[in-house]
Amino acid sequence: MMQPMDPHENSSRDLTIVCENLWKIFGELPKDPDSLLETLDTVHLSKEEILEKYGLTVGVHKANFQIKKGEVFVIMGLSGSGKSTIVRCLNRLIRPTSGRVVIQGKDVTRMTSRDLRTLCREKMGMVFQNFALVPTRTVLQNVTLGLEIRKIPKTQRLQKAREAIQLVGLSGWEDKYCKQLSGGMQQRVGLARALAGDPEILLMDEAFSALDPLIRKQMQDEFLKLVRIVDKTIVFITHDLDEGLKLGDRIAVMKDGRIVQIGTPEDIVMHPADAYVAEFVSAISRTKRETARDLVSDPEEWVCTLDDDPVSLLEKMRDQDYLGLLVIDDQDNPLGVLYRDMLRSAIDDKGEAVALLDLVSKDMITVNQHTGVDELVAQAARTSIPLAVLDRKNRLAGVIPRSSLLKELAEMI
């Protein structure tokens, strides 16, 4: 079986992680494993058949993928598909049987133990499903743990830890112990600990799987906000399709150790590579398949800047029957909403107005490009202004007017 091609190949200059022909076989291998791997790659046996015939378990079957800097790359599959094995091969918690893992141009599979420790301490952070917190330590002490191991001076590590704690929304909880925290808060501590070392790469293995559904959704939302701030390369492992579609820039779907498809969430859902992927995504309603990216409109008619003429803006809103406009700066960063009523009341009889900045309301509702239609509807119900669709750098990528959303929804029903 040929390795599926990635339709979004990146230039090598922008790549953080490259995985080439990666194998992991559990069991006693022959002296010449290459010939066995070649056989396993051509005979198309199932994992069960390989176990029965050779007494070996295939963890990863000749995986190939590339991850761009700043990308959220989701590896998704059912239990036993090999997703956790593959992420542990990236930092060599598990030694690959064959193939290469290249991180920032360096081959991890050939590194000495010393170089590998340096890479993991300085470049990588890992967040586990079971939180892995030390119960006898406070939140602050748990977050500083990795920095202590790296022998970072106390003053510096406390500062870094407090910054990470603030980043994940736990300020004020520094002196609490794990037993005093909810599951979601404990996972935030684990994430803060990974972020405190300022790693360029985050490996997250089923990080939200142990949380109850409501807390899990909240953590996913917080994660998406965090991604915009920290700009890390993230490998996120999950068995949950909705989670993968929501969080990933691209997704690799695994089955029996093989990567069967790599693509954007839209690619995976709308153009499944085979019957397995099609079955995997078949339960998703169209309201989840369609995303903000599918519905986004050019924002030009719905935006203004602080330098625009107030009287002209009021005339535009009256003519178009707009209740308000989105305000952006010169870098396309959204600032808020300028409502027609507020602008009208600020303009006196002479046509003069106060500074527009004083009139900007902060109650603008923003969504990311992967937000599903079902969530868009819930958000649109809270505002009379189009939803602001943001890109990965938190800039305005477009808008979704409520009328367009309701029309799309009507066609789905």
DSSP 215-268: HHHHHHHHHHHHHHHH--EEEEEES-HHHHHHH-SEEEEEETTEEEEEE-HHHH
Q: What is the pLDDT of residues 331-341, one digit of tens each?
A: 899 999 999 98
Confidence grade of residue 7 (pLDDT, cut at 50, 70, 90): very low
- Answer yes or no: is 119 within a domain: yes
Claim to verify: residue 25 and residue 80 sit in the same structural domain: yes
256 and 221 in one domain? yes
DSSP result, 336-379: EEEEHHHHHHHS-TTS----GGGG-BS---EEETT-BHHHHHHH
Shared domain check, 217 and 71: yes
Give tens-digit pLDDT for 89-98.
999 999 999 9
Domain count, the chain: 2
Question: Residues 6 or more apart from 113 whose CB is under 8 A from it?
Answer: none
**101-110, 137-146, 284-293, 352-361: which range is least confident on average?**
284-293
Name the least confident of 90-99, 263-272, 294-303, 400-409: 400-409
With pLDDT > 90 as the criterion, what percentage of the chain qualifies? 33
Residue 330 has pLDDT above 60, yes or no: yes
If DSSP codes are grouped into helix, strand and coil, which group holds residue 326? strand
pLDDT mean over 357-374 = 85
Task: Check whether residue 279 and residue 298 sit in a common domain.
Answer: no
Average pLDDT, the chain: 85
CATH of the domain at 109: 3.40.50.300
In a domain, 354, yes or no: yes
Task: Look at residue 186 and tell me if it is in a domain.
Answer: no
pLDDT for 118 beyond 60: yes
Per-residue confidence (pLDDT) for residue 12, from 0 to 100: 52
Distance CA 158, CA 140 (A): 8
> What percentage of the chain exceeds 70 in pLDDT?
91
Q: How many other CB atoms are there within 10 angstroms of residue 326's CB atom?
A: 22
Give me the pLDDT at residue 227, please: 82
Quote the pLDDT of residue 411: 59
Residue 162 pLDDT = 92
Same domain, 249 and 381: no
Same domain for 280 and 300, yes or no, is no
- CATH number of the domain bearing residue 382: 3.10.580.10
In a domain, 139, yes or no: no
* Residue 263, domain extent: 12-134+200-284
Same domain, 277 and 305: no
